[in-house]
Chain A
Amino acid sequence: MGTKTLYDKLWNTHVVRVDDTGTALLYIDRQLVHEVTSPQAFEGLRLAGRQPWRTSANLAVPDHNVPTASAERAAGITDPVARIQVAALGTNCASFGITEFAMGDPRQGIVHVIGPEQGFTLPGSTIVCGDSHTSTHGAFGALAFGIGTSEVEHVLATQCLIQRPSKTMLISVDGELGAGVTAKDIVLAIIGAIGTAGGTGYVIEFGGEAIRALSIEGRMTVCNMTIEAGARAGLIAVDEKTIEYMRGRPYAPSGELFEQAAAYWRTLVSDDDATFDRVLHLDAASIQPQVTWGTSPEMVLPIDGQVPDPAAESDPVKADSIRRALAYMGLTAGQPITEIAVDKVFIGSCTNSRIEDLRAAAAVANGRKVSKNIKLALVVPGSGLVKEQAEAEGLDRIFTAAGFEWREPGCSMCLAMNADRLEAGERCASTSNRNFEGRQGQGGRTHLVSPAMAVAAAVTGHFVDVRTL
């Protein structure tokens, strides 16, 4: 019986060398590249006269800046600065020989949706991207984390990163989730419990029956938001669901090589006697649908909750944060969450734009209508292939019949770098991952929820427990 955590196993197999300060050179198997954090890295390579170390280890896609309206896609990006950046990704990939799924390619989509979809994300691998939500790929028992542009360049040039080992935390979600409660609610509840800095310095492994019961898509939602708890990475052990998901994907191995890989992947679990630096248990049955009320993901409440009162908070820094958040969000202490009316609804982002998310959203939207007070309700699929699949299942028609707009894939209103955004003071029920001030547009007010809860807010015009619809 071993004593290694899953993290230890991943770390140990990727260490090239450790220097006398205890810093390791860690080998990186895969890098995903997008248009926002890569131009300066490619420029750095060019200035130093360097070539990528292993070209095929990289896969690129534009997602943050791309328009999601078909007309603008066809006509070309209107914003000149964004157009230059998307074009720069194209020329950089072409000149360095890196595969790119350009706009118009059906495989284009959000970087963290397409990696797994293509089988580029392999269990047991190390995966990086110049994007904090790279933690998503930890759902496959892969060590995946976001890096800055200097490190993007470093990986391009050397296929390695300079790293120190992290501490390990196990969060076990025990028992069964209630009906209508989703992966998004689990991860929001966890962030509410440990705080946005609760995971700093740790890699968090999620375990327990409720995590095992999640689909791969649900596991990606949980790992995606690990970064919102401050952790370096999130991890979920490999099981048969992981292996079945990988089978037949374009970038995954096939035939004999797949079986050989699968045999190894099955070992990617923490040993029974592994010890973690911190262990936390959460009772799945106690988790209700969650809604964030403030300007940090830790400011979250169950749907039957009431907006907190800063006067009841003893820590002055926290009380001040609550006061600021209430003012920014235009809420009053004690207000029930269910009485908060919404202006816009956004279903999408690397947290919740996969086929399963769209199915869950469509199930609630089916036969209902978007409420009159909603100015815009958007559904933005995570990739061209998710879009095709959803259309084959007729989900697009359910959404449009209910009054949602059905868009082309990209990050869209998750960060509002393109035309999809909130105006100052507008309030949004969003399936994305960050509710920071200005995230969805300057002065915009974001409430993070699951896809089903977002649709429930869309059809009633305010937050409501989807289980009571």
Chain B
Amino acid sequence: MQPFQNFTGVVAPLDRANVDTDAIIPKQFLKSIKRSGFGPYLFDELRYLDHGEPDMDCSNRPLNSNFVLNDSRFSSAQILLARENFGCGSSREHAPWALADFGFRVILAPSFADIFFNNCFKNGILPIQLKSDLINALFEKASGATPLQIAVDLPAQLLTLNDGETIPFTVDAGNKQRLIEGLDDIGLTLQQADAIREYEARRRIEAPWVFYTV
């Protein structure tokens, strides 16, 4: 995974609650056995007027002009501003893959669905939970004539808006470290292989039925 670096990006406001992972990347794209190339199909049903299918060339598809990412001001947005319960529904990691492939690196919302939230960190996306009134205020600023830009500083856990306002945020220490260092979770866990083997040896005595095989 690429280390997460500080950046300044445009904020795209997606003003609806309970955006589920099927809205983020519809099920027909889940048939792919690859993990890249989902960006053009991000929010497919909201973004295009026709029905999308895997491997379709999106450059000629009819666009829904009311959808935020089709507004040229937001087409290179790196920060997504969302409402309650963002990423609910299926556990599909295709959702963060599609968001990352499009170019999103930070998502701001008052609440996230649990599995989606975890999946973001595995894919270099920083999900930030902020209080509802802060989110409401950001929606107002982001919907103005000039797009809202935010500088994201992960080590300092600070957002700086282009009007100078600063917003501190919280992030789990372990997740923060892994994002900043771009660490491979599996490699890290395997450094503890001895501890896992010791645990298994103990469990084989305490609970042998767990290791029973047919």
Binding site for B on A (CB under 8 A): 13, 16-17, 19, 21-23, 25, 27, 29, 36-37, 39-40, 43-44, 48, 50, 53-54, 56, 64-65, 79, 81-82, 84-85, 88, 122, 124-125, 130-132, 134, 145-151, 153-154, 157-160, 162, 164, 196-197, 200-201, 230-232, 250-253, 257-258, 260-261, 264, 295-296, 317-318, 320-321, 324, 415-417, 434, 436-439, 442
Contacts and interface: CB of A to CB of B under 8 A. Distances in A.
B197 to A, nearest CB: 10
Given A149-B93, A257-B209, A317-B83, A40 B172 contact: no
B190 A149 contact: no
B92 interface: yes
A82 B9 CA distance: 37
Given A23-B172, A252-B209, 11 more contacts: A16-B196, A23-B173, A36-B31, A40-B93, A81-B32, A84-B31, A147-B115, A148-B122, A157-B186, A317-B83, A436-B22
Contact of A158 (B16, B45, B196, B213): B196
Given A200-B111, A417-B27, A437-B45, A19 B89 contact: no
B208 A154 contact: no
B209 A439 contact: no
Interface residues of B, number: 60
Interface in B8-44: 16-18, 20, 22-23, 26-28, 30-35
B172 A132 contact: no
B15 to A, nearest CB: 8
B198 to A, nearest CB: 8
Given A437-B23, A442-B51, A253 B212 contact: yes
30 contacts: A21-B173, A21-B177, A22-B173, A25-B189, A29-B210, A36-B30, A40-B35, A40-B93, A50-B186, A56-B213, A79-B31, A88-B33, A122-B210, A124-B207, A131-B90, A132-B115, A146-B115, A148-B93, A154-B185, A162-B174, A200-B112, A257-B212, A261-B209, A295-B18, A320-B16, A416-B27, A417-B27, A417-B31, A434-B20, A442-B26
Interface in B158-214: 172-174, 177, 185-186, 189-190, 192-193, 195-196, 199-200, 203, 207-214
Contacts of A16: 192, 195-196, 199
Contact of A151 (B31, B114, B118, B195): B118
> 3 smallest A-B Cβ distances: which pairs?
A148-B93, A39-B33, A150-B122
Contact of A253 (B118, B119, B209): B209
Nearest to B185: A154
A320 B18 CA distance: 12
B130 interface: no
Most chain B CB atoms below 10 A, which of A17, A150, A162, A437:
A150
A415 B18 contact: no
B153 interface: no
Of listed B33, B90, B91, B113, residue having the most chain A CB within 10 A: B91
Nearest to B117: A200
B85 A132 contact: no
Contacts of A131: 90-91
Nearest to B188: A162
B190 A158 contact: yes
Contact of B196 (A134, A160, A264, A439): A160
B207 A148 contact: no
A417 B30 contact: yes
- Chain A CB within 10 A, most for which of B16, B32, B207, B209: B209
Nearest to A434: B89
Contacts of A230: 85, 88, 113-114
B185 A25 contact: no
Contact of B209 (A22, A23, A122, A134): A122
Contact of A201 (B20, B114, B190, B195): B114
Given A158-B186, A232-B114, A415-B27, A132 B196 contact: no
B155 interface: no
Contacts of B173: 21-23
Which among A148, A151, A434 has the highest number of chain B CB atoms within 10 Å? A148
Interface in B62-117: 83-85, 88-93, 96, 111-115
B210 to A, nearest CB: 5
B123 A150 contact: yes
Nearest to B26: A438
A392 to B, nearest CB: 24
A88 B17 CA distance: 36
Nearest to A123: B209
A317 B34 contact: no
B189 A160 contact: yes
A149 B45 contact: no
A317 B110 CA distance: 12
Contacts of A44: 186
Nearest to A40: B35
B54 interface: yes
A257 B207 CA distance: 9
Nearest to A197: B85
B31 A148 contact: no
B203 A27 contact: yes
Given A19-B174, A132-B115, A150-B123, A264 B30 contact: no
Given A16-B192, A296-B18, A200 B114 contact: yes
A243 to B, nearest CB: 12
B22 A37 contact: no
Contacts of B185: 150, 154, 162
